[in-house]
Chain A
Amino acid sequence: MAENGIGASVRRKEDKRYLIGKGNYTDDINVVGQTYAIFVRSPHAHATINSIDTANAEAAAGVVAGFTGDELAADGIELSLL
């Protein structure tokens, strides 16, 4: 087998951290002050959204904020239906 070039064995560089348990996958991340996002989905398969009332949710203990599509749009974050 060639030392380099065509036919050479190219070793991966990332293996060590996975092998020693330092993969830092998404759920491994833990920073002070981190928050968790929960998505509230429609309970209906096909419906028209007339209104969304986040008042109770936002008043619940430990809740930092609640966002609806209107608020994202107001911030210029476009959501398109694919």
Chain B
Amino acid sequence: MPVIHMRVNGNPVSGEVEARTLLVQFLRDDLRLTGTHVGCDTSQCGACVVHVDGKSVKSCTMLAIMADDCEVMTIEGLANGSELHPMQQAFMDNHGLQCGFCTPGMVMSALDIVERNGNELDEATIRKELTGNICRCTGYHNIVKAVKAGAKAMGD
């Protein structure tokens, strides 16, 4: 079986996985990083979004072996000890989550939105950029507010 090496949240990790193992399975089952979720099995919901080499990726739609030698960041890598990342804090302050299942994917996508669009985001941009993330609870209203506030806070 292939042996893969990567850095996850700054830590070097390795594992022996079947070639068909998805990155999300490797993260959840082998590394026990269960913050990244499987929500749909159809690549639609975005609950599995992580960053691979700085770009947001649906980890259910890539193989673990494709992340060999890569830098992977998951939701678990955001907070600095007990201090939340500004985007996480913005979700908390703006009631951007209810059941929380989509939240890791939303936050990881939000960071990528900021990376590509800057800190002053308008609602239309946020809504368009979050097309790949589904939420069943909130109606997106407060998620949009949270992303906007988090983007601004990241620029401060």
Contacts and interface: CB of A to CB of B under 8 A. Distances in A.
Contacts of B38: 27
Interface in B67-108: 74-76, 78-79, 84, 88, 91-92, 95, 97, 99-101, 103-104, 107
Interface of A: 12, 14-25, 27-28, 30
A31 to B, nearest CB: 12
Given A19-B79, A21-B104, A30-B29, 17 more contacts: A15-B97, A15-B100, A16-B92, A17-B100, A18-B99, A18-B103, A19-B75, A19-B88, A19-B97, A19-B104, A19-B107, A21-B36, A21-B75, A22-B35, A23-B101, A30-B32, A30-B34
> What are the nearest 8 A-B pairs in CB distance?
A21-B35, A18-B100, A28-B34, A21-B75, A19-B88, A21-B76, A15-B92, A20-B79
B37 interface: yes
Mostly helix, strand, loop or mixed at chain B's interface? Answer: loop
Interface of B: 28-29, 32-38, 74-76, 78-79, 84, 88, 91-92, 95, 97, 99-101, 103-104, 107
